[in-house]
Amino acid sequence: GAGVSQSPRYKVTKRGQDVALRCDPISGHVSLYWYRQALGQGPEFLTYFNYEAQQDKSGLPNDRFSAERPEGSISTLTIQRTEQRDSAMYRCASSADLAGRETQYFGPGTRLLVL
């Protein structure tokens, strides 16, 4: 079956522009997570949703970052007024389990480069 998909796979943008990163979770998965992964580092938690409700946004670096999942399926991570330090791989994961003790399936990621 289809796994988690993310688009675009690569995004190059100029400093100050807004970007929107999309995540399509596995069909029926109730939980959706966003992580950021710097080169050579482990993924860093950003935020997560159960259905359409954002449960925890403690990992969002600042108020330029926001995320939504309005219908409990597709999610968008938006970065406003991008800065060079935002350059990273942004990964999405989904899970069938609300308690978070089952497998999180990761997508291929969106590589963001801010010039």
Q: Is 36 among the residues that bind another protein (CB under 8 A)?
A: no
| The only residue of 41, 51, 52, 78 in contact with another protein, by rule CB under 8 A | 41
The vertex-18 CA angle with 17 and 24, nearest 5°, equals 145
Closest alpha carbon to 87 in 27, 22, 21: 21
**Cβ–Cβ under 8 Å, residues 25 and 94:** yes
Q: Is 28 among the residues that bind another protein (CB under 8 A)?
A: no
| Identity of residue 28 | G
Q: Is 52 among the residues that bind another protein (CB under 8 A)?
A: no
Site string for another protein, 81-100 (x = CB under 8 A): ----------x-x-x-xxxx
> CB-hemisphere CA count at 13 Å for 20?
6
Query: Where does this chain bind another protein (CB under 8 A)?
Result: 4, 31, 33, 35, 40-45, 48, 50, 55-56, 59, 91, 93, 95, 97-109
